[in-house]
Amino acid sequence: MNAQLEKGLRESAKRAGELKLLCAPSDAEVFIDGYSVGACHQFEGKPKGLTLSKGMRQVVVKKNGFLPYFGYVDSDGTMAALTIELVPQNAGSAP
């Protein structure tokens, strides 16, 4: 690998942020900027969270039978944590 490429990769890694997710249910699917990145339990911070490039990122968490979560994280090279509890779709509805 050439020196310029190595330097660019090191600089990029410095700017990347990390997102720790704690979700209920833990097997809910996580989307970043519209792309599926895996299940929530994969990003609990053990051993690490989800690496995000710098900038504003849309976070969506979905699971069948639950209302989706929509939010935004400004990844600025630091660690952020979200605790998300999805609400069942039929919660609060009359029988």
For residue 25, is the peptide bond before it cis, meaning its omega torsion is within 30 degrees of 0? yes
pLDDT number for residue 86: 97
Angle value at C-alpha 52, between 51 and 54, nearest 5 degrees: 140
Q: Are strands 35-39 and 17-24 parallel, antiparallel or unpaired?
A: unpaired
Distance, in Å, from the CA atom of 79 to the CA atom of 62, rounded to the nearest integer, reads: 22
Rounded Cα–Cα distance for residues 81 and 44 (Å): 9
Q: Note the pLDDT of residue 87.
A: 96
Contacts of 19 (CB under 8 A, 6+ apart): 43, 49, 50, 52, 59, 73, 75, 79, 80, 81, 82
- What average pLDDT values come out for the chain (95 residues) when binned by 10 residues? 58 71 96 95 86 90 97 86 94 59
Predicted confidence at residue 14, as pLDDT, reads 55
| The predicted structure's pLDDT at residue 76 | 81
pLDDT confidence of residue 46: 80
pLDDT tens across 15-33, in order?
A: 678 899 999 999 999 999 9
Predicted confidence at residue 90, as pLDDT, reads 85
